[in-house]
């Protein structure tokens, strides 16, 4: 199965990593410490991809919900926190659950604008189907946004680079739980060959400040509300 993008000589794929409520809203079970700063940029990059008809591969964590007995407390199956932020969803999308080895359709990225792949772990390449998809998609460049910079994002970037892919990381559209570890992760990605850019370099200037998803005090202050 070769999932080739044929419409133009140069083609990007946006990789939208774990942009879920538990990671990016203040009420989330594992909210990133910079969510107020990155949410507007995530929204801008998603809007840029929509306008340009860029295919989107999204990953999302999901963990078993054992009625309070789970070792992992975030992104539990069936909870509100496990859902993706609403403006990271396109209407023409297909979703595939975790814990299955069934082959993905060969024409997946031609039939759908967005493919959402659920996973039980931070590193998507620990999931055979996601590994196969990323390995077989032929694209000029993979553009990364999401959470968290020090775990799922760096694992995705390094996995793509290891497979010979060109990677661009939008540094101000990355949520992180630990600033020091996130900076180390960015240095590691750059050292391995990833290009680091900011949202304005990718999507142009914008007056958008309000992400329209989180109403916490930090987000209100960053939006100029008092």
Provide the 3-class DSSP secondary structure of residue 138.
strand
Give me 80's structure tokens.
């509100």
Confidence at residue 4, expressed as pLDDT on a 0 to 100 scale: 54
Mean pLDDT value across residues 100-107: 80
Mean pLDDT value across residues 42-47: 96
Mean pLDDT value across residues 143-171: 98
- 149: which residues sit within 8 A by CB, 6+ positions away? 174, 175, 176, 181, 182, 185, 186
What is the chain's mean pLDDT, rounded? 89
Pair type for strands 114-119 and 12-17: unpaired
In the numeric block, the tokens 């959470």 are attached to 147
Identify the CATH assignment for 12-222 out of 3.40.640.10, 3.40.50.850, 3.40.50.300, 3.30.200.20. Answer: 3.40.50.850
- pLDDT of 155 over the 90 cut: yes
* Integer Cα distance of 171 and 142 in angstroms: 14
Confidence at residue 225, expressed as pLDDT on a 0 to 100 scale: 44
The helix (H) or strand (E) run that includes residue 55 is none
pLDDT digits (tens, 9 = 90+) for 192-216: 999 999 999 998 866 555 556 676 7
pLDDT digits (tens, 9 = 90+) for 16-33: 999 999 999 999 999 999
Q: Is the dihedral of CA 179, 184, 185, 191 positive or negative?
A: positive
Confidence at residue 8, expressed as pLDDT on a 0 to 100 scale: 41
More confident residue, 8 or 63: 63
- pLDDT of 1 over the 80 cut: no
The helix (H) or strand (E) run that includes residue 150 is none
User: Going along the chain, which residue ranges are E strands?
Assistant: 12-17, 56-61, 93-96, 114-119, 141-147, 167-175, 195-197
Pair 104, 129: CB distance under 8 Å: yes
In the numeric block, the tokens 């949520």 are attached to 175
- pLDDT of 34 over the 80 cut: yes
pLDDT digits (tens, 9 = 90+) for 125-151: 999 999 999 999 989 999 999 999 999
pLDDT digits (tens, 9 = 90+) for 50-65: 999 999 999 999 999 8
């Amino acid at each position: 199965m070769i999932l080739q993008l044929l419409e133009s000589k140069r083609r990007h794929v946006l990789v939208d990593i774990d942009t879920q409520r538990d990671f990016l809203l203040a009420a989330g079970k594992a909210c990133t410490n910079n969510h107020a700063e990155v949410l507007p940029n995530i929204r801008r990059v998603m809007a840029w991809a929509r306008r340009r008809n860029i295919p989107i591969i999204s990953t999302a964590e999901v963990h078993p919900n054992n009625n309070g007995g789970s070792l992992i407390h975030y992104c539990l199956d069936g909870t509100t926190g496990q859902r993706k932020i609403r403006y990271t969803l396109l209407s023409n999308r297909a979703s595939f659950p975790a814990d299955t080895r069934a082959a993905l359709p060969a024409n997946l990225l031609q039939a759908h604008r967005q493919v959402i792949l659920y996973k039980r772990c931070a590193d998507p390449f620990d999931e055979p189907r996601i590994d196969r998809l990323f390995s077989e998609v032929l694209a000029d460049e993979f553009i990364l946004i999401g959470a968290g910079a020090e775990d799922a994002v760096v694992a995705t970037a390094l996995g793509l680079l290891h497979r010979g892919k060109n990677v661009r990381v939008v540094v101000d559209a990355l949520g992180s739980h630990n600033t020091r570890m996130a900076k180390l992760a960015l240095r590691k990605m750059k050292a391995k060959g990833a290009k680091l850019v900011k949202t304005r370099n990718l999507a142009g200037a914008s007056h958008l400040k309000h992400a329209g998803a989180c109403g916490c005090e930090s987000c209100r202050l960053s939006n100029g509300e008092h």
